[in-house]
């Protein structure tokens, strides 16, 4: 497409934040993309520009561009589909890093619309572990595209990826729950050669959680059950999935606009805490710590600083003995999930952090504070491991871990919540004083709850979500913490 042709397209309609979805403009861009592949690059650039400005202004081009690719998909040649898919997979991985559920769902739908041509990019991402931080399940969802292709080489490549991943799980190189999406691809493709691997995974998983996804996949392969008749995202009309995610994005922007003035100050405090923790972890002060403590240093420092700010509005330069006592002996034991070895590192890391804050000119008189913290070493660990110190959310999630319940299995978590509430109520069904039941299972570590940031936190703490489980690090899981 020449420069004049590109400039004549309704770019302003894509950039408009007001009004409804500009369907006519999206269709016009799709037609133009089919006619001239050179439009692909400026559309990709527009997407990137919108993502970079995501937190600054209301924009929807990052939703519209993938939808344009999907609208054009049936009329694109294979080379164009592969190029568009490579871009979408790259952005899907980035959305996973950003924990952006809206984008991950929409990008998966758009990528799937491109058909099996998307599989080379998907398999490359899976093989390189690029989706491990968030997009893993979405990438494996896309591997189901192989079931609809007559290309034997492509199907074999997906089967090999499935078997390789199951072997990794069997060798203990990845958590079994991360292999569960593979089971569904195997079932969808009716790949019976993978059954022994599924059987091995099922036996291991059954020791903890009983009827797993591996068992369900085996039943499908054995014709004892049917694959769920659910439309994949890309099998739904573009209008349907774009409309759904566009409205979610609208709500996101509206919620941000409705935040009170102090919200920006609150978030700035959390960002500063995270940034200082990162700098500390790379400092000479941190490098004096033993190797195991150094591994946990950034996580612990971020928790100490962000919890002091979240629960007491105490800045790093205002840390005192009372604030540190509250954080280390009350809030950390109550909220943070980690192995005992991590809690054993809390005091040495905090002492090193205090010394570093003084060396940076942020905190004065760190030595007396470090001395006070040193005297709490044993007490921090004891309280953190004492279940009576835990809040309801942590107690419930720890019970789920002990019973081997996958925290991402909503049905199993809800079943456990019912049983948990019955335990709390006692044999006669009475509600124990001071221990209200969970109205719903708390969000798993690292998984954002579907609740407004100014709404009451679903954990029942009485705080706003943004100042409880919605804040960074809430019920956190550092490197080395027990897997979920």
Q: How far is CA 379 from CA 278, 290, 295, 346, 347, in A?
A: 27, 20, 22, 11, 10
pLDDT, residue 303, reads: 93
> Confidence band (pLDDT; 50, 70, 90) for 298?
very high
Tell me the torsion sign for CA atoms 41, 64, 62, 83: negative
Q: Is the pLDDT of residue 236 over 80?
A: yes
Given a cut of 70, is residue 455 above it in pLDDT?
Answer: no
428-436 long-range contacts, CB within 8 A, separation 24+: 435/392, 436/392, 436/460
Is the confidence at residue 262, as pLDDT, over 60? Answer: no
Give me the chain's average pLDDT, please: 81
- Pick from 179-188, 218-227, 237-246, 399-408: least confident: 399-408
Question: And the tokens for 27?
Answer: 């269709």
The closest of 352, 346, 61, 92 to 233, measured between CA atoms, is 92
Least confident of 25-34, 80-89, 92-101, 343-352: 92-101
User: Quick one: DSSP state of residue 38?
Assistant: G
pLDDT greater than 60 at residue 423: no
Phi, psi of 464 (to 5 degrees): -65, 150
Q: Are 442 and 246 in contact (CB under 8 A)?
A: no
Average pLDDT of the residues in 322-346: 90
Residue 454: predicted pLDDT? 43
User: What band does 369 get if pLDDT is binned at 50, 70 and 90?
Assistant: very high
pLDDT of residue 475: 37
Quote the pLDDT of residue 362.
Answer: 94
162-176 core/surface letters (b: 16 or more CB in 10 A; e: else): bbebbeebeeeebeb
Higher pLDDT, 213 or 348: 348
Residue among 330, 331, 369, 340 nearest 353 (CA)? 369
**Residue, of 230 and 283, whose pLDDT is higher:** 283
CB < 8 Å & 24+ apart, contacts of 287-296: 288/352, 289/345, 289/348, 289/349, 289/352, 290/348, 292/341, 292/345, 293/345, 293/348, 293/349, 295/479, 295/480, 296/342, 296/345, 296/349, 296/478, 296/479, 296/480
* Cα dist from 221 to 137, 143, 209, 284, whole Å: 21, 17, 21, 56
pLDDT, residue 180, reads 83
The pLDDT value given to residue 96: 85
Beta carbons of 289 and 349 less than 8 angstroms apart: yes
Region 275-280 average pLDDT: 93
Cα–Cα distance measured from residue 382 to residue 463, given in angstroms and rounded to the nearest whole number = 26
312: confidence class by pLDDT, cuts 50, 70, 90: confident
Share of residues in the chain with pLDDT > 70 (%): 77
pLDDT greater than 90 at residue 106? yes
154-190 pLDDT, tens digit per residue, is 999 999 999 999 998 888 887 777 788 888 899 888 8
Structure tokens at 58: 């209301």
State both tokens at 287: 């490098």
User: Which residue has better confidence, 100 or 450?
Assistant: 100
Could you please report the per-residue DSSP string of 55-113? Answer: TTS---HHHHHHHHHHHHGGGS-HHHHHHHHHHHHHHHHHHHHTT-HHHHHHHHHHHHH
The yes-or-no verdict on residue 133 having pLDDT over 80 is no
Mean pLDDT on 320-341:
90
Q: Is pLDDT at 427 greater than 80 in this prediction?
A: no
Q: Which residue's structure tokens are 């004492």? A: 386
> Does residue 264 surpass a pLDDT of 90?
no
């Amino acid at each position: 497409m020449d420069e004049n042709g590109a400039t004549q397209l309704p770019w302003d309609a894509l950039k408009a934040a007001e009004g409804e979805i500009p369907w006519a403009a999206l269709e016009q861009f799709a037609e133009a993309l089919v006619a001239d592949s050179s439009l692909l690059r400026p559309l990709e650039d527009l997407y990137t520009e919108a993502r970079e400005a995501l937190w600054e202004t209301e924009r929807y081009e990052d939703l519209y561009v993938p939808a344009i690719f999907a609208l054009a998909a049936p009329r694109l040649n294979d080379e164009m589909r592969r190029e568009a898919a490579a871009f979408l997979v790259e952005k899907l991985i980035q959305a996973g890093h950003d924990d952006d559920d809206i984008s991950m769902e929409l990008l998966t739908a758009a990528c799937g619309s491109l058909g099996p041509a998307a599989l080379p990019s998907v398999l490359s991402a899976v093989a390189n572990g690029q989706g491990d931080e968030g997009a893993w399940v979405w990438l494996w969802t896309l591997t189901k595209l192989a079931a609809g292709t007559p290309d034997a080489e492509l199907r074999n490549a997906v089967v090999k990826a499935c078997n390789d991943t199951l072997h990794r799980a069997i060798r203990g190189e990845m958590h079994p729950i991360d292999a569960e999406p593979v089971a569904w691809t195997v079932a969808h493709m009716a790949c019976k050669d993978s059954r022994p691997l599924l059987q091995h995974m099922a036996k291991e998983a059954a020791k903890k959680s009983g009827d797993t996804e591996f068992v369900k996949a085996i039943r499908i392969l054995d014709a004892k059950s049917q694959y769920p008749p659910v439309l994949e995202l890309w099998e739904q009309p573009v209008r349907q999935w774009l409309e759904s995610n566009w409205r979610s994005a609208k709500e996101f922007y509206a919620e941000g606009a409705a935040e009170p003035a102090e919200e920006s100050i609150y978030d700035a405090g959390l960002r500063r805490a995270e940034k200082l923790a990162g700098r500390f972890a790379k400092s000479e002060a941190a490098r004096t710590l033993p190797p195991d403590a150094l591994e946990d240093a950034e996580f612990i420092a971020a928790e100490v600083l962000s919890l002091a700010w979240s629960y007491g509005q105490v800045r790093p330069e205002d840390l005192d003995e009372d604030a540190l006592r509250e954080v280390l002996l009350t809030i950390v034991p109550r909220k943070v999930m980690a192995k005992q070895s991590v809690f054993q590192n809390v005091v040495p890391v905090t002492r090193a952090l205090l010394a570093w804050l003084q060396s940076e000119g942020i905190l004065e008189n760190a030595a007396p504070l470090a001395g006070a913290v040193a005297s709490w070493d044993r007490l921090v660990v004891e309280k953190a491991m004492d279940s009576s110190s835990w809040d309801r959310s942590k107690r419930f999630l720890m019970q789920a871990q002990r019973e081997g319940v996958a925290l991402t299995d909503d049905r199993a978590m809800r079943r456990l919540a019912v049983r948990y509430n019955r335990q709390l109520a006692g044999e006669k069904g009475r509600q124990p004083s001071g221990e209200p039941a969970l109205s719903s299972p708390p969000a798993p570590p690292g998984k954002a709850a579907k609740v407004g940031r100014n709404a009451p936190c679903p954990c029942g703490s009485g705080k706003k979500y943004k100042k409880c489980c919605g804040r960074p690090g809430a019920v956190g899981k550092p490197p080395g913490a027990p897997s979920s």
